[in-house]
Amino acid sequence: MSEITLNTIISDPEVQSLIASADHNLEEIGYTEHGPRHLGVVAERARRIILGLGHSEREAELAAIAGHMHDIGNVVNRRQHALFGAVLARPILLRLGMDFDEANKIIAAIGNHHEGEGEPVSNISAALIIADKSDVHSSRVRASGDVVGDIHDRVNFAAVSSDIFIKNEGKTIGIEILIAPKVASVMEYFEIFLQRMHSSKVAAEYLGADFELIINGVKLA
């Protein structure tokens, strides 16, 4: 068994095809971008969370791999895509030569990342949950999207910036978002993201930290 890296996964043709097809399917039903940009952001933030809490480089690499693969299940169906993604990911990881135990950690993270359908079962899965929920940004809105009529598009389009932060020596993990109030209100953000923020809170608690949400400089949670 060889030590598989994020670059190994990114360059794999099967993974590339799954990501492209999954993102296409979501575009067809009107969802925001779930392609290379989103996956890159999630992988980087999941890695940063693990390292920021003092865990190993290898654990951070596994979190990044889970971040890159977490949405491939959308190639099958949006509903229960986390479970489909986990099932699809395992044979790919084993084909590439990953250790069984490491592959199992990644598929558990993928299978538990979606709000309402899973819970944090490891540091990797908790980091993935927070990283995924933190990516709210205008660039995720499709060019053909109805920004005015669709609240998901409107809230994403209003997000000028978003990022995760770790402070108090790892005792606090949070998401900070800058929203253009002329495009969407903070209340609209809460209307569609309340469950996601609850998932992030649960994940932070798993990591031994409090969760904070800061929007336009104001601490809201």
Mean pLDDT per 10-residue segment, the chain (221 residues) = 89 98 91 90 98 97 98 96 98 97 98 94 98 82 57 73 94 92 73 86 98 90 71
Residue 23 domain flag? yes
Alpha carbons 61 and 29: distance in angstroms, whole number: 32
What pLDDT, on a 0 to 100 scale, did the predictor assign at position 179? 84
What pLDDT, on a 0 to 100 scale, did the predictor assign at position 1? 56
Cα dist from 137 to 14, 25, 110, 193, 205, whole Å: 28, 20, 22, 13, 25
Q: By residue range, what is the domain housing residue 65?
A: 6-219
What pLDDT, on a 0 to 100 scale, did the predictor assign at position 31? 81
Residue 77 domain flag? yes
What pLDDT, on a 0 to 100 scale, did the predictor assign at position 157? 74
Contact 45, 70 (CB under 8 A): no
Residue 93 domain flag? yes
What pLDDT, on a 0 to 100 scale, did the predictor assign at position 182? 72
Residue 210 domain flag? yes
What pLDDT, on a 0 to 100 scale, did the predictor assign at position 137? 67
What pLDDT, on a 0 to 100 scale, did the predictor assign at position 143? 63
Who contacts 101 (Cβ-Cβ below 8 Å, separation ≥6)? none
Domain containing residue 206: CATH number:
1.10.3210
Residue 1 domain flag? no
210-215/172-179 β-pairing = parallel
What pLDDT, on a 0 to 100 scale, did the predictor assign at position 130? 98
Cα dist from 146 to 32, 141, 154, 178, 183, whole Å: 11, 9, 8, 21, 13
When divided into structural domains, the chain yields a total of: 1
CA angle 60, 85, 138 (to 5 degrees): 70
Residues in the chain: 221
Residue 183 domain flag? yes
Alpha carbons 188 and 117: distance in angstroms, whole number: 23
What pLDDT, on a 0 to 100 scale, did the predictor assign at position 181? 76
Alpha carbons 100 and 22: distance in angstroms, whole number: 26
Residue 79 domain flag? yes
Q: Residue 151 corresponds to which amino acid?
A: I
